Amino acid sequence: MSEETKYYQHGRFSFAGGSIPNAFTAYRTYGDSKNPCIVFPTCYGAKLDSQLYLVGAGKALDPAKYFIVTFALFSNGESSSPSNTPEPHNGPYFPAVSYEDNINAQYAVLTKELKVTKIKCAIGFSMGGQQAYHWAVMYPDFVEKFVPICGSARTSPHNQCFLEGPRIALSVSKDYNNGFYTTKPEQGVRAFARVYSAWAYGQTWYREFGHLYNGKYTDLNDFIRSEWEAGFLASWDANDMLTMLRTWQTGDVSKVKSVAPALQGDLAGVLSTISAKGLIMPSKTDLYFPPEDSQNEVAAMGANATLNVIDSIWGHKAGGGANAADTEFISKSVREFLESA
């Protein structure tokens, strides 16, 4: 099931690192706009097509029950990005983008174009989960519920350090040329993909299932080349990858402009002010967003938040539709949460 991709034209739009004229947000809608609205933004390495693992008849986000709006992150190649913006704001000249920028743009689409007056739920995986947190903080009177899946309210120092690996692997490659490449910087993208692959599943998955690549691939190197390098080389622009990575790396709900001055930088304090009900779903074996971070966040939010750990060996990938068992666990939990008072 797939609806048409639409584009909302913002005109001149201000980002964290500057502004561009004629910025646009790519989005899709599913279901009747009279139904309760659910917002489901993309994550890192995802296009709008990637959202369909939770959207569809009989799935957690059923268009027969809800009006679902999926949003493409700025810099994912579908919304305004370094790769699709005309000179002089193209490529490495594209401004830095924050989560706050994305949420403000999504709010504009919902209220000005789609005439939505309330969000029943903001849900997302990974970077999408971080956006769900931002929705709850930035627009408290607009959001009833939120579900971060394998995400966090603040990108931890641990997570930031991980992201430095793939960032440096790509940015210092000779064919990246400081962002001024004229052909695809294949060496840099391949290096990025290899560093990124090491953390995606986690050690438990590799211990239990790592041998299975021998059934399809000749060895581990063949597996990484086919499953990781191929995906980034086929679908992603290098400047887009790095701009979106910076959004992830700098994510922090305690530093958005709408937070009271006295609470700026106080993560626990900001989380304690969230009025929306939250279902927080980390993966037990996630190396990007470990469940311990979610436990601390739920403790700060108090009675409004519920922790529901995905008991999976699939690491971070558990939340993104990587396997049927985890997707069904997430779907069942989300259905019950959406139907609860």
Give pLDDT tens digits for 31-50.
Answer: 999 999 999 999 998 999 99
Q: What is the pLDDT of residue 198?
A: 85
Q: 77-104 pLDDT, tens per residue?
A: 999 999 999 999 999 999 999 999 999 9
- Assess whether pLDDT exceeds 60 at residue 2: no
- Tell me the catalytic residues: 126, 286, 316
Cα–Cα distance measured from residue 113 to residue 111, given in angstroms and rounded to the nearest whole number: 6
Q: Which helix (H) or strand (E) holds 193?
A: helix 186-200
- Give me the mean pLDDT over the 285-293 stretch: 95
Q: 114-163 pLDDT, tens per residue?
A: 999 999 999 999 999 999 999 999 999 999 999 999 999 999 999 999 99
Beta strands (DSSP E) in the chain are 6-15, 18-30, 37-41, 67-71, 119-125, 143-149, 277-280, 305-307
Q: What is the pTM of this model?
A: 0.96
Question: Of 15-29, 79-93, 205-219, where does mean pLDDT reach its minimum?
Answer: 205-219
- Give me the mean pLDDT over the 318-332 stretch: 96
Beta strands (DSSP E) in 161-247 are none
> CA nearest 179: which of 81, 92, 88?
92
Q: First CA to last CA across the chain, in angstroms?
A: 29
pLDDT tier at 308, thresholds 50, 70, 90:
very high
Instruction: State yes or no: cis peptide before 148, omega within 30 of 0.
Output: no
Cα angle 252-166-244, degrees, rounded to a multiple of 5: 45
Cα–Cα distance measured from residue 233 to residue 185, given in angstroms and rounded to the nearest whole number: 9
Residue partners of 157: CB distance under 8 A and separation at least 6? none
Handedness of CA 254, 256, 260, 264 (dihedral sign): positive
Q: What is the pLDDT of residue 87?
A: 97
Write out the residue limits of the CATH 1.10.1740 domain(s) in the chain. 159-247
Q: What is the pLDDT of residue 1?
A: 45
Question: What is the share, in percent, of the chain residues with pLDDT greater than 70?
Answer: 99
- Give me the mean pLDDT over the 248-266 stretch: 97
- Assess whether pLDDT exceeds 80 at residue 213: no
Instruction: For 159-247, give the CATH class.
Output: mainly alpha
Write out the residue limits of the CATH 3.40.50.1820 domain(s) in the chain. 6-155+251-339
Instruction: For 6-155+251-339, give the CATH class.
Output: alpha beta
Q: How does the average pLDDT of the chain come out, rounded?
A: 95
pLDDT tier at 26, thresholds 50, 70, 90:
very high
pLDDT tier at 264, thresholds 50, 70, 90:
very high
Cα–Cα distance measured from residue 151 to residue 89, given in angstroms and rounded to the nearest whole number: 30
Cα–Cα distance measured from residue 245 to residue 158, given in angstroms and rounded to the nearest whole number: 15
Q: What is the pLDDT of residue 95?
A: 98
Count of alpha carbons within 13 angstroms of residue 265, beta-carbon side:
2
Task: Please check whether residue 98 is in contact with residue 250, taking contact to mean a CB–CB distance below 8 angstroms.
Answer: yes
- Give me the mean pLDDT over the 281-286 stretch: 96
Q: What is the pLDDT of residue 207?
A: 84
Cα–Cα distance measured from residue 25 to residue 332, given in angstroms and rounded to the nearest whole number: 30
